[in-house]
Structure 1
């Protein structure tokens, strides 16, 4: 098992964008998430032109330069930190959710340069000293992790509003330990009912029977509490203190 439910994962650290002065995917943001009580932090990882692993969500910098086209020195000058820096800074009792951002060049570059290949030494080392799992929108990244080390847990993360049927069946079919479901796929408390959408508890039950733990990404405090009541194992959130307060109240 990956989680001791329900567990809270800080999305990109303390949350996307700038939260209380801390910009996402920075050492300050990860420290803020830990201080707020998150049991885990989610870290977005992508590679540079010279095969350094950098922590950034988008494919490009705000000025439009594509990160995989830049040497790591240029990305660092723009404020990005390396994966190594994050792993050194986050305390070992905090779990790491590694969100692998593969690039188009992974399809044509030498296998030794692919994002997942560069990541594996870090995963193997960190998995010996802390809780860790790997998620990605890219099924090939998860399959590459499986091939390299079956002991490292993976979670398939389908896209926004992805149908629940494909999310659960796909994660199980790939041999993942978890499925990471967008909150909007479950349906937010403010949404109108959608014909054919399964109840959250029904989806979680099927996933659990398939041997999957369930992660939900980007619910607010109210929906986090509702999803937790339905059996969701972990929540990737932008409001760590708000979600923790809502879970405690429930």
Structure 2
């Protein structure tokens, strides 16, 4: 079953990273604005707190420098972080959910039931029954655990910034992912000189599709989003949601 209806737009952390139009990333208001301005999905960054809650925050630390995993849910709330459950209750069911799981070092040593993926699993199963959802992560262990414990939830491996395309596609296929999430800079941005040995966007997408993978790219501007859509990229994660949505539609 396909994850996307190409080419779809995913709002990056909602309406875009940082603050966009006065809306702070990873807030309910930001997610709603992304949906209002052309996104079919929103990307949310999920982290765990010291007391086992799941909150939405991209960076590892709070504004005061403390790791999120060392703070309680109440302390995170005082810093403006939204709890996962609160956001999900506020999102319409027609909104797709791109769950970016941010694991922590303590997930290697804490009791299995306290680890980020374990806390997330019941939420994933419930949400997958009522909306389109997929899980992406830099951490392959998360994707393997989702495949084992919530097999109905698609996964996408997200290699790091400028990760070589060869390893991105081969790695996602090898892990049995439904999709590969490729940094736009790995493809090469418009105006950059060619890089010897780097495959074209068309070749990469075709190879991924033949391997049974859908392709997501993060975070191209409107020009590159349109170029990627022409090459068959299935979804793009966007900071400029209205600009990218218009470019992809054209």
- In structure 1, the residue matched to 2:219 is 218
- What does residue 48 of structure 1 align with? 49
- TM-score normalised to structure 2 length: 0.99
- 1:198 maps to 199
Q: Partner of 2:65: helix, strand, or coil?
A: coil
RMSD: 0.6
**2:86 alignment counterpart:** 85
Q: Which runs of 5+ in 1 are unaligned?
A: none
Q: Displacement of 1:65 after TM fit? A: 1.1
Aligned residues: 249
Aligned equivalents of 1:196 and 1:149: distance in 2?
A: 37
The CA deviation at 1:149 is 1.7
- Contact kept, 8 Å, 2:41 with 2:95, in 1: the verdict is yes
- The equivalent of 1:128 in structure 2 is 129
Q: Distance in 1 between matches of 2:5 and 2:249?
A: 15
1:142 aligns with 2:143: yes
Q: 2:241 is matched with which residue?
A: 240
Task: Please list every run of 5 or more consecutive structure 2 residues that lacks an aligned counterpart in the other structure.
Answer: none
Q: Contact between 2:40 and 2:95, CA under 8 Å: does it hold in 1?
A: yes
Alignment partner of 1:231 is 2:228: no
Partner of 1:113: 114
Aligned residue in 2 for 1:33:
34
Q: CA deviation at 1:166?
A: 0.4
Secondary structure in 1 aligned to 2:76?
helix
What's the counterpart of residue 10 of structure 1? 11
Alignment of 1:57 with 2:58, yes or no, is yes
1:17-59 per-position Cα deviation (integer Å, ceiling 9, x unaligned): 1000100001111111011121000000000000000000000
Aligned partners of 2:63 and 2:79 also within 8 Å: no
User: 1:248 Cα deviation (Å)?
Assistant: 2.6
Secondary structure, in 3 states, of the residue corresponding to 1:126? helix
Match of 1:171 in 2: 172
Secondary structure at the counterpart of residue 180 of structure 1: strand
| Aligned mates of 2:40, 2:71 — CA distance in 1 | 33
Distance 1:247 1:152 in 2: 26
1:165-197 CA deviation, whole Å, 9 max, x = no partner?
000000000000000000000000021111111
1:184 pairs with 2:185: yes
In the alignment, the residues of structure 2 paired with residue 218 and residue 232 of structure 1 have an alpha-carbon distance, to the nearest angstrom, of 13
Structure 2 Cα separation of the partners of residues 76 and 180 of structure 1 = 30
Q: What is the TM-score normalised by the length of structure 1?
A: 0.99
Q: Which secondary structure does the structure 1 equivalent of 2:227 belong to?
A: helix
